[in-house]
A = this chain, B = another copy of it.
Amino acid sequence: MKPINVGLLGIGTVGGGTWTVLSRNAEEIARRAGRPIRITAVADRDVALAQRVTGGAARITADAFELVRDPEIDVVVELIGGYGIAKDLVLTAIENGKHVVTANKALLAVHGKEIFAAAQAKGVTVAFEAAVAGGIPIIKALREGLSANRIEWVAGIINGTTNFILSEMRDKGLPFADVLKQAQALGYAEADPTFDIEGVDAAHKITLMSALAFGIPVQFDKAYVEGITKLEATDIKYAEQLGYRIKLLGIARRRQAGIELRVHPTLIPTKRLIANVEGAMNAVLVQADAVGSTLYYGKGAGAEPTASAVIADLVDITRLATAGAEHRVPHLAFQADQLVDLPILPIEEVQTAYYLRMRVEDKTGVLADITRILADGKISIDAMLQKEPGEGESQTDIILLTHLAIEGQVNAAIARIEGLATVVGKVTRIRLEELN
């Protein structure tokens, strides 16, 4: 059968990996896809790099817009990243009737509504397995593997940089800033790590997964995003003593009133498999009504793991290249006319459990005051850890784990606790999920 001609936008790390894997496994891939898949044109500003990687086996251009209009190209793979030119290129490719494969989570999380609508109107596919959790086929699992289920929630360790930092902080008892420097030296964190450590990257990914899980539009602007920069080694240590690990989780949960969509550091029980995902690895846990819990684990980044996802999408598109649009798997798991606009809940309405750490004067009645405030707010206590004051100290730490509570009520209770004369400074509050 006629080969599928792919136009590649950007031949950096992931683009280079895609070229390498498609070349190395060409025969194996054609045996699966039913026809050869070949990159026939590459657009990159660094023409010399593109020449070097492709060794003259593809047409090279510095003009990406020319490529996405090329009538010889069947599918465009966008690996440029960012919201700027990448958006114009993807929309132009769609307008020219090309299927699009992209690893660009930022673009889809922010501009997905517009892009998916354009693809729908044009009858082409926008596939994005590579945008979430690298080579782990989690998009396919949510979109197809779990299609029988009403999905209840998705919780994922979906940013390798922050998971590496948290693993190191726990292992070595070091503060955030030191481990970040080390992660940068090792190449696990970028020179400007803001998107990773502030949780933005994870929020892009959980936003995409929320659309697939619940059949809602992509709406990054309503996600609650909190990174790991303020996390203290002390809390990692106390959590450990209570049987928990702290992970940066992306969480999307269906509630009666709407959808919770949030990224923040989270205590999870050490006995859960996902709590033991260490280093730069990724894992996504999905709770669904028929199948129960399923977990998907693997490398969340890197040239070849990401290329694995890009090429899986190319194989899917190749199998369907000439079938009518109605036979395709919908981009967002649900048919385009079947999305529903469930509200995304503000963070104050989120319901979760909490870890609260406070510094108190070691006096009788302190604990009674604190527990009364919590009881007034209908917040019940699941576990408590009270340390003896250090030699010659008059203050000590109290750590409380609560049962499920509404965030707004917890915040109100914290304000009252901080007002007590016997409580020193601020209360540290970290969310906790049992994930069962």
Query: Interface residues, chain A, CB within 8 Å of chain B?
Result: 1, 17, 21-22, 24-25, 28-29, 31-34, 129, 134-137, 140-141, 144-150, 215, 273, 276-277, 288-299, 302, 304-305, 307-312, 314-316, 319-320, 322-324, 326-330, 333-335, 338
| CA A6 to CA B271, docked complex, whole Å | 41
Listed residue (A31, A141, A149, A320) with the most chain B CB atoms within 10 angstroms of its CB: A149
Among B32, B291, B329, B338, point to the contact of A319 (Cβ < 8 A): B329
Q: Let me know if B147 and A312 touch, CB within 8 A.
A: yes
Write the chain B residue with the least CB distance to A338: B31
- Chain B's nearest CB lies how many Å from the CB of A82? 25
Write the chain B residue with the least CB distance to A31: B338
Q: Give this chain's copy count.
A: 2
Q: Let me know if B292 and A33 touch, CB within 8 A.
A: no
Write the chain B residue with the least CB distance to A22: B148
| CA A289 to CA B307, docked complex, whole Å | 11
Q: Let me know if A330 and B276 touch, CB within 8 A.
A: no
Q: Let me know if A308 and B323 touch, CB within 8 A.
A: no
Q: Let me know if A328 and B333 touch, CB within 8 A.
A: no
| CA A212 to CA B136, docked complex, whole Å | 17
Among B25, B134, B316, B327, point to the contact of A150 (Cβ < 8 A): B25
Residues of B near A137 (CB, < 8 A) are 140-141, 144-146, 294
15 further contact pairs, Cβ within 8 A, besides A1-B326, A148-B314, A290-B311? A17-B290, A24-B150, A28-B150, A28-B215, A135-B290, A140-B144, A144-B315, A148-B308, A290-B304, A292-B302, A292-B305, A294-B298, A296-B296, A320-B323, A323-B324
Residues of B near A309 (CB, < 8 A) are 148, 291
